[in-house]
Amino acid sequence: MMTVTVIAPVAICPLCHTVDSITEEAVATGGGWRCKTCGQRWDAARLATVAAYAQYVASRAALAP
């Protein structure tokens, strides 16, 4: 019988793209972390804001002539 290990995706700093040891699941349940490289503090609310802004920028770029 083969054992399969499932590894949870880890959180990545949106600013400098450093991978951190906190999982996305931990962030979704209220956890947060400070990036070891750039020092920015991240949590679910800030990550949602960054994602929404990235989507806005992409939609504006699509409308540009």
Residue with tokens 């990550």: 47
What confidence score (pLDDT) does residue 22 get?
82
Which residues, 6+ apart, have CB-to-CB distance to 23 below 8 Å? Answer: 8, 9, 10, 11
Sorted by where each begins, the domain ranges of the chain are: 10-63
35 vs 5: CA distance, rounded Å: 27
Model confidence at 54: pLDDT above 80: yes
Quote the pLDDT of residue 27.
82
pLDDT bucket at 39, cuts 50 / 70 / 90: very high
